């Protein structure tokens, strides 16, 4: 089961896992986009708002009825706003906490019984979470998203310890700058010019496919290998704040 499947990293993950031979159920709110992806890739699609407990209960019942569940890839999430802490929008912060943290907890609670059943028969089950480098390093204007992603990341780390002794892997993938169509656009309230400026001149930001490829690798790794935390960035982004713009180039040798 892959959440966030209607766009960006989740959509790319559905494609990647189908290519690796997985049976995949893609989940997000926009049914039309999910259905188009399902038609193209042979995945299944279930529309669901992950911030709604009743909807998630129904989702998991439908998934359970369809067969054993071996893995959850929790990609759904996002950012709203770049406000300073002192004038942050409570509504935006609430949305970020709901979708990145509470939806993750709700999914884990609901899917663990299904995953345990499958793992008992097949050796292991997998939980993969896409957090962010924003969970690791704060930046001005990032407070709401930093807080939500750090909370999600801590949830994942606690969960791995709680599952110690069970054959269930818990993997965290923390990407830096990924150029997807909607993430920054949504964060900046639909301002395409401002969204384009975030990526302007960066020599090869990560793509959704790059992240999906790492998720696929983590899932296909031998069952006893748990990739706890994979932090990945474009080469042009050496650290959260160090984003090179312009073509990457070899420097002339430094003189003594
Ligand atoms: N892009 C980046 O630079 C970047 C970097 C690091 C981490 N991340 C993280 O990676 C994840 C995916 O990012 P992305 O770039 O692929 O963004 P995206 O294209 O905006 O994808 C977000 C996905 O989440 C789904 N979603 C949002 N709210 C939902 C809800 N209430 N219920 C169900 N699904 C919901 C959206 O689908 P619907 O709107 O159809 O529901 C969409 O499929 C996010 O968790 C993000 O925080 C992104």
Examine residue 52 and state whether it is found in any structural domain, yes or no.
no
Examine residue 2 and state whether it is found in any structural domain, yes or no.
no
Nearest of 235, 163, 243 to residue 201 by alpha carbon: 243
Examine residue 250 and state whether it is found in any structural domain, yes or no.
no
- What is the reported pLDDT for 150? 98
Report residue 33 as tokens: 């986009």
Examine residue 255 and state whether it is found in any structural domain, yes or no.
no
- What is the reported pLDDT for 255? 67
Ranges 92-106, 111-125, 149-163: which has the least confidence: 111-125
N residues, the chain = 256
Examine residue 207 and state whether it is found in any structural domain, yes or no.
yes
Examine residue 22 and state whether it is found in any structural domain, yes or no.
no
| The ligand 1 atom nearest the CA atom of 30 | 40
Examine residue 182 and state whether it is found in any structural domain, yes or no.
yes
- What is the reported pLDDT for 32? 98
CA neighbours within 13 Å on the CB side: how many for 120? 6
Report residue 94 as tokens: 């609430």
Q: Is 20 in the pocket of ligand 1 (CB under 6 A)?
A: no
User: Do the Cβ atoms of 48 and 221 come closer than 8 Å?
Assistant: no
- What is the reported pLDDT for 256? 64
User: Do the Cβ atoms of 49 and 55 come closer than 8 Å?
Assistant: yes
pLDDT digits over 115-138, tens only?
Answer: 999 999 878 899 999 999 999 999
Mean of pLDDT over the chain:
97
- What is the reported pLDDT for 135? 98
pLDDT digits over 69-98, tens only?
Answer: 999 999 999 999 999 999 999 999 999 999
Alpha helices in 172-222 (DSSP H): 183-187, 192-199, 208-220
Q: CATH no. for residue 212?
A: 3.40.50.720
- What residues make up the domain containing 169? 69-236
Q: Which of 183, 210, 233, 237 to mutate to test the pocket of ligand 1 (most atoms within 8 A of CB)?
A: 183
Active site residue 145: yes
240 or 178, greater pLDDT: 178
pTM above 0.85, yes or no: yes
Q: Average pLDDT in the 152-172 region? A: 98
Q: Average pLDDT in the 178-194 region? A: 97
For 127, the 3-state DSSP assignment is strand
- What is the reported pLDDT for 251? 87
122 CA from centroid of ligand 1 (Å) = 30
Q: Average pLDDT in the 102-115 region? A: 98
d(CA 219, CA 44): 19
pLDDT digits over 199-234, tens only?
Answer: 999 999 999 999 999 999 999 999 999 999 999 999
DSSP symbols for 208-221: HHHHHHHHHHHHHS
Q: Average pLDDT in the 89-109 region? A: 98
Share of the chain above pLDDT 70, in %: 99
- What is the reported pLDDT for 122? 76
For 173, the 3-state DSSP assignment is strand
d(CA 125, CA 108): 12
16 CA from centroid of ligand 1 (Å) = 17
120: Cα separation from own chain's centroid: 26
- What is the reported pLDDT for 253? 78
Examine residue 175 and state whether it is found in any structural domain, yes or no.
yes
**229 strand-pairing partners:** 172
Atom 1 of ligand 1 has which residue's CA nearest to it?
178
Whether the per-residue pLDDT at 189 is higher than 70: the answer is yes
d(CA 70, CA 37): 21
Number of domains composing the chain: 1
What count of other Cβ atoms lies within 10 Å of the Cβ of residue 87?
7
Nearest of 105, 42, 37, 49 to residue 72 by alpha carbon: 105
92 CA from centroid of ligand 1 (Å) = 15
Share of the chain above pLDDT 90, in %: 95
Longest dimension (CA), the chain: 69
């Amino acid at each position: 089961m892959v959440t966030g499947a209607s766009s960006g990293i989740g959509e790319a993950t559905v494609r990647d896992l189908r290519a690796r031979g997985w049976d995949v159920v893609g989940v997000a709110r926009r049914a039309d986009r999910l259905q188009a992806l399902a038609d193209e890739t042979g995945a299944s699609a279930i529309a669901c708002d992950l911030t709604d407990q009743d909807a998630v209960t129904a989702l998991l019942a439908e998934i359970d009825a369809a067969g054993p569940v071996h893995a959850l890839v929790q990609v759904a999430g996002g950012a709203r706003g770049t406000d300073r802490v002192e004038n942050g929008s409570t509504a935006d912060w609430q949305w970020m906490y709901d979708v990145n943290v509470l939806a993750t907890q709700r999914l884990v609670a609901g899917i663990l019984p299904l995953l345990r059943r499958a793992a008992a028969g097949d050796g292991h089950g997998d939980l993969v979470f896409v957090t962010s480098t924003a969970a690791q390093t704060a930046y001005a204007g990032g407070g709401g998203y930093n807080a939500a992603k750090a909370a999600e990341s801590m949830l994942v780390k606690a969960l791995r310890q709680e599952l110690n002794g069970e054959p269930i892997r818990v993997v965290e993938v923390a990407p830096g700058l990924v150029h997807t169509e909607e993430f920054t656009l949504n964060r900046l309230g639909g301002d395409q010019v401002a969204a384009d400026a975030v990526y302007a001149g960066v020599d090869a930001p990560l793509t959704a496919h790059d992240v999906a490829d790492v998720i696929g690798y983590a899932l296909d790794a031998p069952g006893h290998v748990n990739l706890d935390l994979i932090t990945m960035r474009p080469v042009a982004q050496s650290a959260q704040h160090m984003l090179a713009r312009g073509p990457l180039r070899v420097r002339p040798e430094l003189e003594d």
